[in-house]
Amino acid sequence: MEQETLMKAMNLQKQSQEAENSLRIIDEQAKDLQDFSDGLDFLEKNGGEEMISSMGKGVHLKTKLMDNKLYVEVGGGVLVRKTPAETRAVIVEQIKRFGQAKVQLMGQMENYQMELKEMIDSIEKMKEKTQKTDK
């Protein structure tokens, strides 16, 4: 019985760590989206000027804005033209979804912690009983 409880506790600990990693990833993704939204603000305020555009992987290119519409990939390599405001609305929705996922994960982690505490208490009670019967 004690071995089974210990295995369950170890499994809960592993699930808790996975949830923590997921939370960290969600926070990073939400920050990246917020940074992107800030970039859209810059684009709207400085339209028509030269700027430095990221090509990805740390490579940048000096560019001049020809028009204010963006090409936004919507999946499967399909591009749709959107204004910065339309694009920002998509970003806000994505950040909102990340926030909802974060709340769910935090709830799961709280449940894991409560279950883990109950198991630890149970193991301690079993040890106390064993020690009393040994005396």
- Residue-range domain boundaries for the chain: 2-134
Q: What is the DSSP letter of 2?
A: H
Helices 2-45 and 84-134 cross at an angle (nearest 10°) of 160
pLDDT in tens, 79-128: 999 998 999 999 999 999 999 999 999 999 999 989 988 888 887 887 88
- 58: alpha, beta or left, given left = phi > 0 and alpha = psi -120 to 50? left
CATH code reported for the domain at 2-134: 1.10.287.370
Give counts: helices (H), strands (E), the chain.
Answer: 2, 4
Query: What's residue 3's pLDDT?
Result: 79
Collapsed DSSP state (helix, strand, coil) of residue 80: strand
**pTM exceeding 0.85:** no
- Cα separation of 18 and 71, whole Å? 35
pLDDT in tens, 8-44: 888 988 999 999 999 999 999 999 999 999 888 877 8
Collapsed DSSP state (helix, strand, coil) of residue 65: coil
